[in-house]
Amino acid sequence: MSAGSHQSYQSYLRLPQLLAQQVPLSRPAVHGELLFIVVHQTHELWFKSLLHDLAAIRDALLDGRPWPARDLFWRVHRVTELLIEQVTILESLPHREFLLLRDALGQASGLQSAQFRELETLSGGRRAGAGPSVWDAYLALVGARGLPVDGRLPDSLDEIEASPDVFPDLCGLAQDLRRHDELWITWRQRHLLMAEGFIGAVPGTGGTGGTAFLASRAAHRYYPLLWRTPSCLAAAHE
Ligand code: HEM
């Protein structure tokens, strides 16, 4: 008998537990608070799935297997596009309702999302975490192909870009990395504009200056070296 034979849709997905986790706190009740919670919680679920896939991308690259990594990048891009759209859905929250539910938030802020930070670290977009990032793993692959990755890394990247026929997988992966970077810049820009619509110039609940902080974050690049030349990486726009 297989392990799953006693499962139902409800039990396999743990729906009773999952659907008990959306608990609006505002009193009197604010209609849009459920949407506010669902958009945040689904972000965290997708963050979990993205971390799972990015770790597999990193491991495939460290293993010298670029193609499974490229397949998974396709999925990672689609999920990130979905999250960019999800931010937009929150713009349908009436401003009046946002002000009412803001009291219930207290100090809570997306700034405290541990999975968001982990996504940046695992991608290689912030200072090293515990293990190698996706960017570290890409550089290991570049090194394994005999191209220098020390101070001459920019030259190696130029060579990869100039000779996609010689390094099709390295060039394709550079496109994936740049697309990944670009999609997260887009998420941060979309989040900034959405937040600005709600809070204008007042500080965020997490204690930062609010939109000024978010604007500085939106300008950040995970992989600045991949933004020097348009050349073959322009194909990342599809
Ligand atoms: C009405 C909706 C929202 C507003 C007004 C808003 C506002 C803000 C503000 C002002 C900050 C800066 C930190 C602070 O001082 O609080 C911030 C950070 C952040 N928010 Fe939101 N946010 C909203 C929705 C969301 C959603 C749906 C997510 C999804 C998880 C999210 C994720 C984040 C993350 C990850 C950060 C840290 C960004 C970084 O460090 O680059 N926010 N938000």
Instruction: Find the CATH number of the domain harbouring 145.
Output: 1.20.58.480
Question: Taking residues 154-159, what's their average pLDDT?
Answer: 93
Task: Report the b/e string of 85-116 with b at 16+ CB within 10 A.
Answer: ebbeebeebeeebbebbbeeeeeeeebeeeeb
- The closest-lying atom of ligand 1 relative to the alpha carbon of residue 207 is 15
Whether 126 shows a pLDDT value over 90: the answer reads no
pLDDT of residue 106: 87
Cα 229 from Cα 153, distance rounded (Å): 14
Structure tokens at 90: 């929150």
Q: Is residue 108 part of a domain?
A: no
Quote the ligand 1 centre to 139 CA distance (angstroms): 32
Question: Taking residues 193-204, what's their average pLDDT?
Answer: 91
Cα 238 from Cα 236, distance rounded (Å): 5
Number of domains in the chain: 1
Kindly report the length of the chain.
238
Structure tokens at 159: 């060579």
DSSP 131: S
Whether 230 shows a pLDDT value over 50: the answer reads yes
Question: pLDDT tens digit string along 163-189?
Answer: 889 999 999 999 999 999 999 999 999
Question: pLDDT tens digit string along 94-118?
Answer: 999 999 998 888 899 999 999 999 9
Could you list the residue range(s) of the whole structural domain that residue 53 is in?
Answer: 30-90+115-237
Cα 135 from Cα 222, distance rounded (Å): 9
Quote the ligand 1 centre to 61 CA distance (angstroms): 32
Quote the ligand 1 centre to 162 CA distance (angstroms): 39
Quote the ligand 1 centre to 111 CA distance (angstroms): 6
pLDDT of residue 138: 97
Q: Is residue 195 part of a domain?
A: yes
Q: Is residue 191 part of a domain?
A: yes
% of the chain with per-residue pLDDT over 70: 94
Question: pLDDT tens digit string along 27-76?
Answer: 999 999 999 999 999 999 999 999 999 999 999 999 999 999 999 999 99
- The closest-lying atom of ligand 1 relative to the alpha carbon of residue 217 is 41
Q: Which residues contact 2 (CB under 8 A, 6 or more apart)?
A: none
Look-up of token digits 């990594």: 69
pTM: 0.94
Provide residues with CB under 6 Å of ligand 1: 39-40, 43, 90, 98, 109-111, 113, 116, 188, 191, 195, 198-199, 204-208, 210, 213-214, 217
Please state whether 209 falls in left (phi above 0), alpha (psi between -120 and 50) or beta.
Answer: alpha
Quote the ligand 1 centre to 110 CA distance (angstroms): 4
Q: Tell me which of 26-30, 66-70, 201-205, 209-213 is least confident.
A: 201-205
